Amino acid sequence: MATENPEPKITTLVETQNYGVWSAEEPDGETTYQLELNNITVHFFEEEWQEFLEVVNALATKK
């Protein structure tokens, strides 16, 4: 019997010419987020992603 190695379920959240954000539902139940900035990819766990969004929102509302 072959060992099952399930792949994560990938969902593209937003994508532009230079940037992309996607989430992955991992086989262990964890959701991770990837932020692609040209040739750099930053990986976040759920708690880190939520904090990152708070920082971005705070920055967006600064005048």
Q: Which residues contact 41 (CB under 8 A, 6 or more apart)?
A: 34, 35
Report the domain count for the chain.
Answer: 1
The count of residues in the chain is: 63
Range of the domain at 38: 9-61
Beta strands in 1-63 (DSSP E): 9-15, 19-25, 31-37, 40-45
30 in a structural domain: yes
pLDDT per residue as tens, the chain (63 positions): 556 778 999 999 999 999 999 999 999 999 999 999 989 999 999 999 999 999 999 999 986
Please give the Cα distance from 17 to 7 (Å, whole number). Answer: 26
4 in a structural domain: no
